[in-house]
Amino acid sequence: MPRQPNPSVDGTQRAVIEAVSPEIDGGLFPVKRSLGETVTVEADIFVDGHEVISAALLFRREQDKEWREAPMASLVNDRWRGVFGTNEIGRYVYTVTAWVDRFKSWRGDLAKRAEASTHTDLDMLSGAQLIEETSKRAGADATRLKDWAKSLRDKKQSLADKLTLALSDDLAALVEQYSDRTLATQYAKELVVVVDRERARFSSWYEMFPRSCAPAPGRHGTLKDCENMLSYVASMGFDVLYLPPIHPIGRTHRKGKNNVVISAAGDPGSPWAIGAEAGGHKSILPELGTLADFTSLVRKAQTLGIEVALDLAFQCSPDHPYVKEHPQWFRRRPDGSVQYAENPPKKYQDIYPLDFTSEHWRGLWQELLSVVQFWIDQGIRIFRVDNPHTKPLPFWQWLIDEIKKKNPEVIFLAEAFTRPKLMYRLAKLGFSQSYTYFTWRNTKPELTRYFTELTASEVREYFRPNLWPNTPDILNEYLQFGGRPAFMVRLVLAATLGASYGIYGPAFELLEDRPREPGSEEYLDSEKYEIKNWNRDKPDTLKEFIARVNRIRAENAALHGDHSLRFHAVDNEQIICYTKQSGDLGNIIAVVVNLDPHHVQSGWVKIPIETLQLDRTESYQAHDLLTGARFLWHGERNYVELNPQTAPAHILRIRRRMRREQDFDYFM
């Protein structure tokens, strides 16, 4: 006896949908977009035989019940593409549907027969039948469709007139509105896109220790002092002020200057050793001020277009209230003592890690969620998360999901200098932005390979890079030996390769380049362990250069995203060239950087003028936004020469030649 068809298979659904993109890990994780960005979806869609198929992209906000729809167009080799826009932050759902389109199949065959002069009235009767079936689904347009069907059946109409009617675009458009989808195939998965506000995509960060903001040496800075520094931060064009932990600092095993094990009287300790008698993660270090001082700082920053970002470091000093109140949240050694943090051979006796996987994990997780919510209630919407890769991944997925249910505008930056797969997994789990390996990518091949991976592979769908030339933990060798030009080079690279970047200041603009010892990336006299009194008015400060770069970023839409980044050939390995462009090509930026901070370098850059829609026969203007210089370029290959002591980089606005009158040209 023959086997019966599998009852779980609908044999009438003939369209096949495969290889949908973007689809992260089989749909396990969402892709990311920011408000106003589009989502381009592609899929392989085909059917047996020669019939024509139609396809549509279905999308909706996650909380909505009804699907919205965008058409999908056929590309090549059965690949289809559709696009939908995002106009609210939160989560969107999307999928693909496809069906055999009987009307398009009939219309296509009719056009072929007409070209061969083999069409007949029978073809018109077949079309009339399809149009009548469509009229039953058409509501207010039913009468119009019935009239069309009647005309195709009318024996008084000539075959030529019927053909014109049958192939009319108006008829095709109306039938398409009411196409028969009863046998449509819908992709088995509903995929998700998380839409963040624009600052998750485009932001300029400045890190500053409030305790070093006192106007005179020998005094502990306060939040009021930090508030007085906001105009300085705003003058450089930064829109995010990131504060290291502002909580009480433990005294037990407090580290001294340069991370020595035994502290001296007056040593303030590391802000990351959180917790003391004055409180824990929901408290403020008394020397800094009060919660009212903090909210005043947040409000004043907002008036200057700056958001305050807080450090989220889920670890405790031995003096943290949690240690006494919740000893079950910490791991014990065989002698009964609490296990302090280690990264052998390094020891951090001043920090106790939390035990996220003890049998009491649920209470701990809820408490840490309440910490984040507490600071949200104080006006914070951006968190820089310290070492998230050392905590369980399910914890972060749960916490971020819980926070974003009520506050979808919150941004989380992952400070995870770790293995690539772990960094990418954190991004997939929900982190809005991520630190990168940029700090250690200094040569042209290193930069080209790494940023091609970040912007031209699937990684771009979920990983938003935030580029930092320096941090309180990292003084890269390039900065140690490159002098002022090295700082300028790394700033330009960070600010133009990435739509989001940050610097640790004032160490960066004041050109701090002294390592603790040869071969170390730790700063000598690190601000992590002592209060600094920075001379922000030094004659050689980079603050004006930084302000110029940030102004260029703000004024050029091409630099507000990463997906358009493309690298271009230069016949000198010490010079790197790349472009970014706005979606409509109205704004094109070409960046040319001398990576050698010690010597003048020159070469010929090759700009793909066809890709940028530049006329090969016309000259075009390359306007250097850093110096104001204007160069008249021709064709693909143009000469550049960069002196690191004066101008180690060009940030060029490419302007097309436009013509108004016969004898008057201008550039756009």
Contact between residue 542 and residue 484 where contact means Cβ atoms under 8 Å apart: yes
Residue type, 76: V
Q: Whose CA is closest to 455, among 578, 607, 595?
A: 578
**Does the annotation mark 386 as catalytic?**
yes
> What is the C-alpha to C-alpha distance for residues 620 and 608, in angstroms, rounded to an integer?
13
- Catalytic residue of the set 37, 207, 415, 512: 415
Within 10 angstroms of residue 468's Cβ, the number of other Cβ atoms is 25
> What is the C-alpha to C-alpha distance for residues 70 and 89, in angstroms, rounded to an integer?
19
Contact between residue 611 and residue 568 where contact means Cβ atoms under 8 Å apart: no
Contact between residue 183 and residue 13 where contact means Cβ atoms under 8 Å apart: yes
Q: Whose CA is closest to 460, among 61, 82, 93, 34?
A: 34
**Does the annotation mark 287 as catalytic?**
no
3-state SS of 315-370 is EECCCCHHHHHCHHHECECCCCCECCEEECCEEECCCEEECCCCCCHHHHHHHHHH
| DSSP per-residue letters across 159-196 | HHHHHHHHT-HHHHHHHHHT---TT-EE-S--EEEEEE
Chain centroid to Cα 213, Å, comes to 31
| Angle of helix 477-497 versus helix 444-456 axis, rounded to 10 | 40
Size (the chain), residues: 668
| DSSP per-residue letters across 397-446 | HHHHHHHHHH-TT-EEEEE--S-HHHHHHHHHHT-SEE--SGGG--SHHH
What is the Rg, in whole angstroms, of the alpha carbon atoms belonging to the chain?
Answer: 31
- Catalytic residue of the set 23, 207, 350, 386: 386
Q: Which residues contact 35 (CB under 8 A, 6 or more apart)?
A: 86, 87, 88, 89, 195, 196, 197, 198
Contact between residue 336 and residue 325 where contact means Cβ atoms under 8 Å apart: no
Give the active site residues: 386, 415
